[in-house]
Structure 1
């Protein structure tokens, strides 16, 4: 009787989630090289990214496509996701069900620049010699003099001395010619920024108020500074704004729904502005940070700001930034304002296209 030999093929070993991400990140080397500035090597960026992912296991369980989109955004900004220059943060995204199906929620990842990263971009731009921001407390000696010779004097008490409660924050930028531009916000102004945030009672505003205050005053100061397009894009990126405005110490639902098409590759959830963040470097979104507590006034002011920016747009990147900012607030904005902005976007594109 013939003997039959039965052979079995050993099933391929399944890679651990971290190893799969590492492999996929390695395949992105060429893409990252094109996005990163010359002073940041691909190897260093990949090492820092993997360290960030391995120290936050939730990132491995989040939507993989949004994870790599967030990594790409970090590379484009020329910043490291080291939780100092910026961070990969998780939010919950609502995916609207279709054909009677229930809505679903997915964990997605968003890139969020932090204070150190924004200041680094500003310094590297060559347009500003230096910039700093500080919080003022009750026990501090603080004097802000206005007039022809504006100045700020800020002397904290001796180390180890209780400084009391925060009473305000300020930022100072020094231009290349030595001229200084200052921005001061008292506690009430900062709290009005907090009041228009949907998550002002929890998340970063509750857990990291000082950092939020610094970011808020920096953003207000930035509107008065000469900046290159890429630096302005980092500071005023709508995805970043939405993440800052919707920040939370826990993963939380985002305010704007995606359709299921987004999960099938027809939309990019990392860029649609429906974000929330878990990070101490959160800052308030630009749309609301100067427009008071009334939501209607805030939306009108945002629309006016976007239209003014579109009228000044000289390159496609300026228009794209405005489009992203509109996307982050489209659902909450009156239809007539959306129509005005959309029309201005079309006009700006035609104008920039003719110049090209």
Structure 2
């Protein structure tokens, strides 16, 4: 039986060779290693072979793109029965170990500590000084630490300086699970602690500077697991300072065409749209850019302005990433460029809010991009494609 499973797994995997080889040539992975780990995964869970070939092809391709293998350490393949089609569907999940491994390899992060806190643990920290964190097991040799009560992640650079600290409570984890598109999936049922670690790692990673698209895609891939469309309305804040601008709220997702055009549109939606500014903040005038600052400003410009066009994230997700931009780029840019950085962040936030409310924004955003190109003296900025 065991040998037959191995043969069947190898036969099926060979069908994916034409799709995987180009991907693996780019990531530098070994096709044979991915094939062997897939066979081991099938040995451990034969239901994987019951999954539709298309779902397996799709999920294994994602695994290859991320540079991971489904060895239950870096990543895992989970089969689940779709209630509608009555077919088994494969689901690829990168594990915390795999995410941290790739972030260290490609993301410029020297150290990542991601832990859960249990009921019997001894945990203390001064919020003003994350380096004061102390986390110990009450009984180092005990096996029952009680329920998970929270978790945290710490990112440090090559000089071991703190890049970001993020913590989440058990209530936060429960809300993440409730927002999941499949809260009772095998991942949450059988890998609960792993999913909690991924939740805090995913949230924290959005607030550090990751100059690698592959790592950003790996982190943001997790957003597809969650349904954010029913989230509460987002309060308008100044993402540069984090301070509340006013009490205005906008829908996290665009209103449907029926709501926009029909007479039955809610009264709360229309005023919110009217309160959004028609024009973004004006481009600063009389700005003399020093030649030595062009490269760093160009990189900051691309990272900030492209957030408005990143449709992998919903509006609250994009604004969450945007809020971390001042902490990332103010130390990089000289002080005379800080007002310009604030304007770029404000323009991006304006575009996200307009987009979320179903109002036009792309033309004004594109004009701002054009002015930035003129200032930088470049022909193109890598910010993505407009809708």
Note whether the superposition's TM-score is higher than 0.5. yes
Is 1:30 the equivalent of 2:49?
no
Map of 2:179 onto structure 1: 196
Is 1:147 the equivalent of 2:128?
yes
CA–CA distance in structure 2, aligned partners of residues 198 and 30 of structure 1:
31
CA contact (8 A) 1:91 1:108 kept: yes
User: What's the secondary structure of 1:87's corresponding residue?
Assistant: strand
Counterpart of 2:192 (choices 184, 194, 209) is: 209
- Considering only aligned residues, what root-mean-square deviation do their CA atoms show, in Å? 4.1
Map of 2:311 onto structure 1: 323
The alpha carbon displacement at 1:188 in A equals 2.7
User: What's the secondary structure of 1:177's corresponding residue?
Assistant: coil
Deviations 1:258-308 (A, max 9, x none): xxxxxxxxxxxxxxxxxxxxxxxxxxxxx59xxxx95455994578xxxxx
Residue segments in structure 2 that go unaligned for 5+ positions in a row: 1-6, 236-249, 255-299, 318-353, 374-378, 383-387
CA–CA distance in structure 2, aligned partners of residues 188 and 104 of structure 1:
33
Map of 2:350 onto structure 1: none
User: What's the secondary structure of 1:323's corresponding residue?
Assistant: coil
CA contact (8 A) 2:220 2:312 kept: no
Map of 1:132 onto structure 2: 113
CA contact (8 A) 2:56 2:89 kept: yes
Map of 1:65 onto structure 2: 54
Is 1:83 the equivalent of 2:72?
yes
Is 1:48 the equivalent of 2:32?
no
Map of 2:92 onto structure 1: 111
The TM-score normalised by the length of structure 1 is: 0.61
Counterpart mapping for 1:1-356 below 5 A: 17-18=8-9, 20-28=11-19, 30-37=21-28, 40-91=29-80, 104-125=85-106, 127-147=108-128, 150-158=131-139, 159-160=141-142, 162-180=144-162, 181-197=164-180, 199-200=182-183, 203-227=186-210, 228-237=212-221, 240-243=222-225, 245=226, 287=228, 294-297=231-234, 300-301=251-252, 314=302, 322-325=310-313, 337=356, 339=358, 354-355=380-381
User: What's the secondary structure of 1:154's corresponding residue?
Assistant: strand
CA contact (8 A) 1:32 1:42 kept: no
CA–CA distance in structure 2, aligned partners of residues 25 and 319 of structure 1:
34
Relative distance call for 1:49 and 1:161 in structure 2 (3 A) is: closer
CA–CA distance in structure 2, aligned partners of residues 313 and 111 of structure 1:
33
CA–CA distance in structure 2, aligned partners of residues 209 and 173 of structure 1:
23
The alpha carbon displacement at 1:93 in A equals 5.6
CA contact (8 A) 1:313 1:319 kept: no
Residue segments in structure 1 that go unaligned for 5+ positions in a row: 1-15, 95-102, 247-286, 304-311, 330-334
The TM-score normalised by the length of structure 2 is: 0.57
CA–CA distance in structure 1, aligned partners of residues 70 and 208 of structure 2:
26
CA contact (8 A) 1:36 1:42 kept: no
